[in-house]
Structure 1
Amino acid sequence: MTILFLGLVWLAASRLSDGGGVQVTGQPRVVDGDTLAIGRDRIRLIGIDAPERAQICERGGENWECGQEARRHLARLIGKAAVACEGHADDRYGRKLAVCSAGREDLNARMVGDGFAVAFGDYETEEADARSRQAGLWGGTFDQPRDWRARHGGMVETPHIDMDWIKTLLRRIETAWTSR
């Protein structure tokens, strides 16, 4: 019965997401650790928040340019691959909120899982894993990116809520199920 229910929910999600979805593909320019530019489109990786380009963090008693390193890490994950981004909304700054992938790699999940971004409405499981391994940002101390922006006159953002909530719910159920 559970499998039948999940199948129906997945079918409904597929049908709902067929309308209004935005797909952008191409070779991106990496703006920072959570923003890409493809052609005229600026894409904000939904559900994550990476340090700002000028943000400095601390690790082992030393300062390090965590914002620049997050940007470089995203660029390394992409390499020369084309990126495919799928989203269903724009943020208040006109950026497309999307999940992006290079090949089969979910860039949003990978940035959080590698410790170069924090969960920002999604990807809590990946963040918990990065924290436990003290990966990236979690190997030292840092200001949450939104707190850093607030103190330095940056854009005010609230955690992202994927408007395609059924797919988000199913992804969370799948993650919980496979981590058993």
Structure 2
Amino acid sequence: MRISDGDSLTVRQTDGSELKIRLCGIDAPERSQPLGREATEHLQSLVAQTDNQVQVVALEKDRYGRTVAEVFTVLGNEEKLLNAEQLMSGNAYLYKEFVNNCPNKLPLETAEAIAQEKRLGVWGGNYQKPWDYRRSKRK
């Protein structure tokens, strides 16, 4: 498994093929942005807790050919939705433009509200949103 950034990963499927995944409904800082490295490392640590074993609920393909998905880990009796974990820790923003496509939209919105209230990560300062950062790089 490879973690590309705080909202993208590549998993090896049971047939040995690789699947590039974009976490549904969230947008993490780019690696070159402030907190980008932290977001990537947080996602890596969540996956490492379960020996890189994840459950993928594929939803659709994005314009880059990645599978947009909700990704879960299970450790003992505890199931975690990684999309929500990234939001709740302040390592991503709710991607309002695309969150309506996510089955767990309400938990994602709640997770972001918790991080905002606690001023965690991206909510702890005046950071540029990743979508604005990417738009500024295209000019």
| TM bucket, shorter chain | 0.7 to 0.9
Q: Tell me which residue corresponds to 1:132.
A: 117
Partner Cα distance (1:88, 1:32) in 2: 20
Q: Tell me which residue corresponds to 2:88.
A: 113
Q: Tell me which residue corresponds to 1:48.
A: 26
Partner Cα distance (2:19, 2:52) in 1: 17
Q: CA-to-partner distance for each residue in 1:149-171, whole Å, 9 max, x for gaps?
A: 111139xxxxxxxxxxxxxxxxx
Q: Tell me which residue corresponds to 2:126.
A: 141
Report SS of the residue matched to 1:152: helix
CA-atom RMSD, angstroms?
A: 1.4
Partner Cα distance (2:61, 2:86) in 1: 21
Choose which of 56, 64, 82 in structure 1 pairs with 2:53: 82
Report SS of the residue matched to 2:90: coil
Partner Cα distance (2:8, 2:2) in 1: 9
Number of matched pairs: 118
Partner Cα distance (2:111, 2:33) in 1: 22
Structure 1 unmatched ranges of 5 or more = 1-27, 57-65, 155-180
Q: Tell me which residue corresponds to 1:38.
A: 11
Q: Give the partner amino acid of 2:82.
A: L
Greater Rg by CA = 1
Q: TM-score, length-normalised on structure 1?
A: 0.63
Q: Tell me which residue corresponds to 1:151.
A: 136
Structure 2 unmatched ranges of 5 or more = 13-17, 100-104
User: How many percent of aligned residue pairs carry the same amino acid?
Assistant: 39
Report SS of the residue matched to 2:138: coil
Q: Give the partner amino acid of 1:30.
A: I
